[in-house]
Amino acid sequence: MVIETLNFLVITSLTPLIGIFLLFLVPSSNELLCRKLSLWISCLTLLFSLFLWIQFDAGTSFFQFNSTFFWFPYLNFYYSIGLDGISLFFILLTTFLVTICILTSWNSVQVNLKDYLVCFLILEFLLIQVFCVLDIFLFYIYFESVLIPMFLIIGVWGSRERKVRAAYQFFLYTLVGSLLMLLAILVVYFQIGSTDLHILRYSKFSEFKQIVLWISFFASFSVKIPMIPFHIWLPEAHAEAPTAGSVILAGILLKMGGYGFLRFSLPMFPWASIFFTPLIFALSLIAIIYASLTTLRQIDLKKIIAYSSVSHMGFVTIGIFSLNIQGLEGSILLMLSHGIISSALFLSVGILYDRYSTRLIKYYTGLVQVMPIFSAFFLFFTFSNIGFPGTSSFIGEILVILGSFQVSMVLTFFSCIGMIIGAAYSIWLFNRINFGSLKLNYINLYQDVSRREFFMLLPLIVLAIWMGVYPSSFLNDMHCSSLSLLESLR
């Protein structure tokens, strides 16, 4: 049994690479075969990741499905991978959303299709490695390698004329932020003699060195989340990216920063994490309120969802640094929920853009009269985005509020103000798009969701309801790992 589970993690990691090799054998002119092959490969990867969840042992906090390969043994570098209750769900989210992205691009991408699909399979491989590798140096390599396919997706297949500028802004902003982390990793290696996470979790650093190293890691993770004032690249990248690029950017790439805090900053630098908690709370509150107010004045549909993502990530960082079990598990659940809901909202915007080639709100009114199925989907995702009871966001937000309440009532109060503003802009957005009189002067041809789009959005609704109604199926598997993480802080 151990060998079988071990192989499933390796196979899940390697399946996208096999798909890339097979895609190179297919002629670029045979676009239908390229689409079908990439879809089957992504579905197969999702299936293997589900087997990991089925065979996962929720009763232990140790890493499971471990595999270690020789890399540079003379320098004490080993290629080590494994899963715990935190990283498991991020891999599941990755494999699921990449499948959705390929379905999304079925008809919308007509130029260099094979290269586009190869970029997504490369991105899937790199993201899986980010969430399962147990070596901080290898983590850094994969963490930064993700920028390359995402840079190409935005810069080559973006939807508007500013796509190249947005791609460079995304690439340079996030790369420069991570250079300090590379220097910190070298400091750790020369002091400990290893970059293996199993060893580093039990290594001790002085208080001054913890502060310096924590700031170095924070410089990288805060840009990825992104936290204010490091969020400038996000709205522009979302606005210029294709629909699938926005889905993977909001659904997975923004979670790498939160995952980095959970995997490295908290267990390796516990004293510094507690020391900088007030700073994190201050930046998070600014993000929640400022981003929510900024969202109210946006006229581009994608920028509205992008700024709402900044606000939601503020709740995530509050939950992580509340340093109690409710806040910690709430932040993980909220990241998973945001990956589903924000992806669904970007898919909904993409459906409108594919039909009418505009994302400006002023052109869309009265859609409920001619696109009732789309309006029903959009209504559900809007209410999920504001944390309506019975949806996934509600469970994550209520746990974060419970965790923050144990730290500070003032912190909780201002966080709830951000939730109220979030409900305001979400309902206002839905009202402006779906109600009112039709503007036939601008758009006079209407088509409701197609069969492909319907079955693309339906699983997202099922997941949002599942997480909202029966969250224990997720919380049980992450509970031991979360408790172990909190124990490392004491």
Is residue 205 one of the residues assigned to a domain?
no
Q: CA–CA distance from 116 to each of 87, 148, 210, 387 (Å)?
A: 27, 13, 42, 34
Is residue 169 one of the residues assigned to a domain?
no
Alpha carbons within 13 angstroms on the beta-carbon side of residue 155 total 14
Q: Which domain holds residue 354?
A: 281-489
Contact between 41 and 16 under an 8 Å Cβ cutoff? The reply is yes
Is residue 211 one of the residues assigned to a domain?
no
Note the pLDDT tens digit of each residue in 352-362: 888 887 888 88
Is residue 413 one of the residues assigned to a domain?
yes
Contact between 433 and 378 under an 8 Å Cβ cutoff? The reply is yes
Better-predicted residue by pLDDT, 461 or 438 = 461
Position 74 scores a pLDDT of 62
- Statement: the pTM of the whole predicted model exceeds 0.85: yes
Note the pLDDT tens digit of each residue in 377-386: 999 999 999 8
Note the pLDDT tens digit of each residue in 232-260: 888 888 888 888 888 998 889 889 989 99
Contact between 285 and 209 under an 8 Å Cβ cutoff? The reply is no
Better-predicted residue by pLDDT, 442 or 459 = 459
Is residue 427 one of the residues assigned to a domain?
yes
Is residue 151 one of the residues assigned to a domain?
no
458 CB burial (10 A radius; 0-12, 13-18, 19+): exposed
Note the pLDDT tens digit of each residue in 81-109: 889 889 999 999 999 999 999 998 888 77
Nearest to residue 343, comparing CAs of 458, 460, 233, 465? 460
Helices (H), 26-86: 31-54
Domain count, the chain: 1
- The CA distance from 309 to 220, in Å, is 18
Q: Which two tokens stand for residue 287?
A: 């993000």
Note the pLDDT tens digit of each residue in 106-148: 887 778 888 899 999 999 999 999 999 998 988 999 999 998 9
